[in-house]
Amino acid sequence: MGSASPNLTLAPGLPITQHAETIAAHLKASGVVIVCGETGSGKSTQLPKLCWALGRESAGLVGHTQPRRIAARSVASRVAEEVGVELGREVGWSVRFTDRTRPETKLRVMTDGILLAEAQRDRHFSRYDTIIVDEAHERSLNIDFLLGLLRRARERRPELRIIVTSATIDPERMAQHFDGAPVVNVEGRTYPVEVRWRPRSEQDASLELESSVASAFDEIRREMPAGDVLTFLSGEREIRELTSYMRGHLQRHRLGDRWEILPLYGRLSVEDQAKVFASGTRRRIVLATNVAETSVTVPGVRAVIDLGNARISRFHTKTRVLRLPIEPISQASANQRSGRCGRVGPGLCLRLYDEQEFSHRRAFAEPEIRRTNLASVLLRMRAMRLGSVKEFPFLDAPKLSAVREAELSLREIGALRQDGKLTALGRRLSRLPVDPRLGRLILEGIQRDALREMLTLAAVLSLPDPRERSVEKRDEADAARRKWRRSSSDFLSLLALYEDWKQVKEEGTRGDVRRFCKEHHLHPLRMQEWTDLRRQLEQMSTQVLKATPNTTPATSESIHRCLLTAFLGNIGRLDKRGEYRGIRDAKFAIFPDSGLFKKDPKWIVAAEIVETSRRWGRLCAKVQPSWIEEAAGERVARSWDHPEWDAERGEMLARERGEFLGLELYGRRRVALAPRDPRLSRELFIQHALVEEGLPGREDFLVANRELVLRLREMEARRRQRDLLAGDARRHAFYDRQLPDHVVGTRSFRKWFRKAHKRNPELLRMTEADALRDEDAGERLRRIAAEETAFPSDFRTNAGPAKVRYAFQPGDEMDGVRVQLRPDQVAVLDEDRLGWLVPGRLAERIEALCRTLPRDVRRGLMPLAEQAQQISHELPFGRGNLLAALTEACRSRGVPVHPNQFQPDQVPDDLKMLLEVVDDRGGVIARSRDLSDLRYRLGARIAEASVALADAFEGQTGLCHWTVGPVGEVLRTVRGGVLVEAWSALVPEANGTTVAYQLVFSEDAADTATRASCARFLAADLAEDLDRQLPLLPGSEVLDQLDAPTRNMVREAIVQVAGLQDVVTPKSAEALQTRFDPAWRGLWKAAEEVLSSLQHHRSLAGQVAARLVDFDRPIWDDIRDDLRRQYLRALPRHGWSPMALNRTSTRLRGLLIRMDRLKSPQGIARDLAVQKEINAHRRTVDTLRERAIEPWTAAWRAVEHLHDLVEDLAAARFMIGERSAPEVHPDHLTEAIRQAEHSSGT
């Protein structure tokens, strides 16, 4: 059934009724009326009835907007009751989640947001006859936008009637906005309010907020025996601090049983808010934020304490931070506050600030459009094609910086093109009833198969946080919700919360839902709003966007990539001080109630950045910089520097830096240069890949060009003049002329070259003319090529020729003349020959050597350059020692020079031969200008390789018979570029009885060791025969004078003479067995020979020992120790063969002759001179012996050979004139020293 006929009679007792005719007349005349009605005037309920009555004949609706949903429902209910119709029929209401209207509805009460959404489809409000905009003084963004749209609609629909109402408004400003619309002032139905000013005086200046409020409270309670007190504060922190203080104040004055203190602010739980509106037995002190100015009415208030401040929301366009600074309120807000205590009786308002200061405040609060983010307004304007913001009739034009920032925000989420028009994505966003960023979340969720999660997050982010967290119950709330806490993302925490809530909601009873909210400290109404909004968004996504939510949960990465598309402006990177640096140098910290607090992830994204006591990022999540880079796309400002050639990739790279609105996302990333600067990439590719030959692979033309360049460069190095080879610029031009423009890297080069080379096989090959700097250079080149003898290409050694290279690189290690040697050539290198360098530079070296002479000596060789040139032509190149030859040349010129006066170390490096040891492939093993240093370093590498080879060999020790396989096999390894060879051998062990199977690193040493081991094996096999025959021989008594180890060596020497002399060393057990019979047969003869030599040796040794007693007197102090030293060194060490014994016997005879000659007149002086020479060599032997302690090695044998030569030389020096004196050639001694040093790694 339909409703009864509406009763549109206005209530007679309300002030608005007295002005009804005036308002109706103005509406008919001008179509717009501004109604300034104080609280209680009845404007919200009576004006809709008046308009309904005026438009009864019209088919249009009467629209009535309210800023809040609760007000829309209550006003609609009240009007329906007064009119006498069913709510939802003739009188309906619409809010975001609910539409209670029908086709027969005549009066529609709605939120301003609902009417704005309708305007997107019908900007001229065609359905409406009259529109009432109530509470316009709040000047919200929606209200200001709606007022602009209504003015535009009036231009197209002059018949549209508009009423703008407010309790406190600037009527002139509003009237001007609607072209001089009439203003009707309606008095309120309130009681008088006394306003008192209580600014802090000088003596009270030090008082804190708490004491000021307490003093005002005491004044009120003394004068007003009834009613509650409403105190306006700026924020939760002040409320908490003042609550604690006032409780103590009441206790001190024994008022606790008569007064109670109640807080009131937006984040307060429903349970605590309900206490404010419930009646009680005690009077109340309500401590509230500005939420109590207009949003809610606190009953029973008779007094107000106003501190005059409020926390005002301001969007900072530069940093995109939502600031909440505490600011002085406007005069209109102050009047709203004072009006709160005149509702139930006469009231008292104490303002804790100065009256004069109040008079200088703004008359009205700054509208929201001047201090908020305009992205949503701009998106709607673009969708509705309303033109530019400048041209739109806003009551107060927004700041240009805010408009620009809104445009930038829309571009960031991909909703706006550079020309200001909406993109396809922007048009889709405009159809969603949420903030553009949250709409972007939903659209990205469709793309990434995460729509279900994005709907949940978009809904909750559109609402106040449903999680209650009062200070008193903070720990309890955190513990209750800990199961949903995620340390990497607050968004994941919200999703986990919603899933559990959804399950309880669907499966539980109402009691279960209430219990769930209470146990987990959740706001029931906001949780329900979350559910309703999500349902609405899902319906719109399905119907409008044609999208279906995902059935399987989205991954964490997908969720956070979606979030980045919406909140890209809220990213942050952790800095060294523990703060996060955001875009445009904004700095903030993670809010303490976040799951990421004190976790300090490197990169985060926040749903919002709010500034209170400091800047906080609220609702944060850990993200990866690569996700940010992808979300930012082309908005990443990329810059690059430090171009460099990458031989492995074959292209030019650069170090790129990426920034998003001043925040560095990455730095020094290696990127290809060609896409960023093709021209520069081509230039650098030619330089690095072709001119500098960095092109990967071996192209024939590059090899040929390189050989040509190296040949010309070496020709220049011979004369040490850069006058042949063309510079890089000319070679660059050579390639530049032939390469097409699109060749910017190796890939494009090879693609072009493969085709072009088929047509021209000589492509990119240089001729001498291309490589030479000018025509004259060709003639100079021919002259230099003719001087081959002055600058030879080979250096001759006893192990074959070595390559000679020339370099002209002053200051570089490679500068000068370089000889490339194989490792085996180092040992036989003639050090004297190195001193001559090459003929073409001999004069320079001579000049440099002469410059090291003392000045008084050098003066006789002036001019040095000329003299050096002459001397270089006189000297036979390469013969003997250069210093000795140069000394003689100087003396022939009358300049007394000693060889020691030259200082070769002071000669410039380019005039010293650089020795370079290379392997078979040309790789450098070692390099030095000092031969001794080179040999030492080479020896170290050989030792390292030898150890590795020996470790891998499976040897044996303690062999008494030949039980292993054949010996003499060569093993090879390469370490550090050095080839090391070793031979398997049998080596006598130090115990004198057994043999070891091991490696020896010299073929000759291996052979000698194996021969000695064979003698030991045969001696063991013939032991009985030796024991039986030796005592029968004449002279055998000499064996009794020897110790056991020496007797064993003598027996082995006898066997070696008998069975192994003049035969090839056996390499297997079978070969050794063939020597047993010869050894047995020749045993007697060999024993006679050895014993004869031994007997003669022992006789001479006895003579020397007896003669040494004659030199115990003090006169022989300088001689005696050296005689004993020579005696001991003349005795056999390891060899007891007849040859070895005869050699040592000669040394003993030399010692006897030395003793005789010492007693001649000049004997001591001559002896000391010889002593000095011989002892110098002996010190060398002792030094080398310390390094070659391992028996039977190449080094050990080389040192033993050097020892024998030195002792033979000693005997020869003291036996001068004797026909039996040994002969030691100086060259042999020098070579022995060199070999011993080389083998020992010196």
Written as six digits, the tokens of 745 are 């890297």
- Per-residue pLDDT, 65: 94
What is the tens place of the pLDDT at every residue in 1214-1230?
888 777 778 888 777 88
Looking at the chain, the whole-number percentage of residues with pLDDT higher than 70 is 94
The reply to whether 176 and 277 lie within a common domain is no
Pairwise CA distance, residues 350 & 343, whole Å: 17
The reply to whether 965 and 844 lie within a common domain is no
Most trustworthy range by pLDDT among 139-143, 387-391, 922-926, 1013-1017: 1013-1017
Pairwise CA distance, residues 1016 & 1009, whole Å: 11
Pairwise CA distance, residues 354 & 1208, whole Å: 121
Q: Per the domain annotation, does 1206 fall within a domain? A: yes
Q: What is the mean pLDDT of residues 138-160?
A: 90
- Centre a 10 Å sphere on the Cβ of residue 943 and count the other Cβ atoms it contains: 16
| CATH number of the domain enclosing 111 | 3.40.50.300
Better-predicted residue by pLDDT, 35 or 728: 35
CB 713 within 8 A of CB 783: no
What is the tens place of the pLDDT at every residue in 351-382?
999 898 899 888 887 787 777 888 888 888 88
Sequence-distant (≥ 6) Cβ neighbours of residue 689 within 8 angstroms: 645, 650, 695, 746, 749
8-state DSSP, 608 = E
The reply to whether 241 and 146 lie within a common domain is no
Q: Does the pLDDT at position 1134 exceed 80?
A: no
Pairwise CA distance, residues 590 & 114, whole Å: 35
Q: Does the pLDDT at position 684 exceed 60?
A: yes
The reply to whether 762 and 799 lie within a common domain is no
Give residue 916's pLDDT band: very low, low, confident or very high (50, 70, 90): very high
Q: Per the domain annotation, does 584 fall within a domain? A: yes
Q: Per the domain annotation, does 379 fall within a domain? A: no
Give residue 1183's pLDDT band: very low, low, confident or very high (50, 70, 90): confident
Q: Does the pLDDT at position 3 exceed 70?
A: no
Most trustworthy range by pLDDT among 66-75, 277-286, 290-299, 859-868: 859-868
What is the tens place of the pLDDT at every residue in 595-623?
999 899 999 999 998 888 788 999 999 99
Give residue 205's pLDDT band: very low, low, confident or very high (50, 70, 90): very low
Q: Per the domain annotation, does 889 fall within a domain? A: yes
Pairwise CA distance, residues 682 & 450, whole Å: 45
The reply to whether 1182 and 1044 lie within a common domain is yes
What is the tens place of the pLDDT at every residue in 13-47?
788 898 999 999 999 999 999 998 876 678 888 99
Q: Which residue range(s) make up the domain with 278?
A: 193-366
Q: Does the pLDDT at position 818 exceed 60?
A: yes
Q: Per the domain annotation, does 226 fall within a domain? A: yes
Give residue 318's pLDDT band: very low, low, confident or very high (50, 70, 90): low
The reply to whether 245 and 149 lie within a common domain is no
What is the tens place of the pLDDT at every residue in 1031-1051?
877 777 777 777 778 888 888
Q: Per the domain annotation, does 990 fall within a domain? A: yes
Domain final residue pick, 718, 750, 785: 785
The reply to whether 215 and 287 lie within a common domain is yes
Pairwise CA distance, residues 478 & 1192, whole Å: 83
What is the tens place of the pLDDT at every residue in 931-941?
878 877 776 66
- Per-residue pLDDT, 31: 92
- Per-residue pLDDT, 391: 85
Written as six digits, the tokens of 898 are 């000693």
Q: Does the pLDDT at position 920 exceed 80?
A: no
Pairwise CA distance, residues 469 & 526, whole Å: 14
Q: What is the mean pLDDT of residues 631-656?
A: 89
The reply to whether 270 and 144 lie within a common domain is no
The reply to whether 865 and 979 lie within a common domain is no
- Centre a 10 Å sphere on the Cβ of residue 540 and count the other Cβ atoms it contains: 17
The reply to whether 21 and 170 lie within a common domain is yes
- Per-residue pLDDT, 2: 47
Overall number of domains in the chain: 6
The number of C-alpha atoms within 13 Å of 1231 and in the hemisphere containing its C-beta is: 7
Range from 227-236, 578-587, 973-982 carrying the lowest mean pLDDT: 973-982
- Per-residue pLDDT, 202: 44
- Per-residue pLDDT, 267: 67
CB 112 within 8 A of CB 140: yes
Better-predicted residue by pLDDT, 504 or 544: 504
- Per-residue pLDDT, 1111: 77
Q: Does the pLDDT at position 1119 exceed 80?
A: no
Q: Per the domain annotation, does 436 fall within a domain? A: no
Buried b (16+ CB within 10 A) or exposed e, 47-56: bbbbbbebbe
Q: Per the domain annotation, does 444 fall within a domain? A: no
Domain final residue pick, 862, 894, 929: 929
Q: What is the mean pLDDT of the chain?
A: 85
Most trustworthy range by pLDDT among 205-209, 432-436, 786-790, 900-904: 900-904
Written as six digits, the tokens of 814 are 């490679």
Pairwise CA distance, residues 1066 & 1057, whole Å: 14
Give residue 979's pLDDT band: very low, low, confident or very high (50, 70, 90): low
CB 264 within 8 A of CB 292: yes
Pairwise CA distance, residues 209 & 238, whole Å: 9
Tell me the CA distances in angstroms from 566 to 376, 428, 1039, 1102, one per residue in order: 13, 15, 106, 109
- H or E element, residue 78: helix 69-83
Q: What is the mean pLDDT of residues 952-979?
A: 81
Say if strands 580-581 and 326-328 run parallel, antiparallel, or are unpaired. Answer: unpaired
Q: What is the mean pLDDT of residues 627-649?
A: 89
From the number of C-beta atoms within 10 Å of its C-beta (0-12, 13-18, 19+), residue 62 rates as buried
What is the tens place of the pLDDT at every residue in 421-468?
899 998 888 888 788 888 899 999 999 999 999 999 999 988 888 888
CB 1150 within 8 A of CB 1221: yes
What is the tens place of the pLDDT at every residue in 248-283?
999 999 998 899 999 887 667 667 777 887 877 899
- Per-residue pLDDT, 585: 82
What is the tens place of the pLDDT at every residue in 575-591?
988 899 998 888 999 99
From the number of C-beta atoms within 10 Å of its C-beta (0-12, 13-18, 19+), residue 288 rates as buried
Written as six digits, the tokens of 989 are 């062990």
Say if strands 32-37 and 61-66 run parallel, antiparallel, or are unpaired. Answer: unpaired
The reply to whether 755 and 811 lie within a common domain is no
The reply to whether 340 and 313 lie within a common domain is yes
Q: In what order do the strands lie in the sheet with 283-288?
A: 193-197, 347-351, 301-306, 228-232, 283-288, 259-264
- Per-residue pLDDT, 199: 86
Q: Which residue has the tokens 């047509």?
A: 759
- Per-residue pLDDT, 729: 86
Domain final residue pick, 164, 186, 208: 186
Q: ∠ CA 1189-1194-1199 to the nearest 5 degrees? A: 60
Looking at the chain, the whole-number percentage of residues with pLDDT higher than 90 is 31
Range from 284-293, 449-458, 548-557, 1013-1022 carrying the lowest mean pLDDT: 284-293
From the number of C-beta atoms within 10 Å of its C-beta (0-12, 13-18, 19+), residue 715 rates as buried
- Per-residue pLDDT, 398: 86
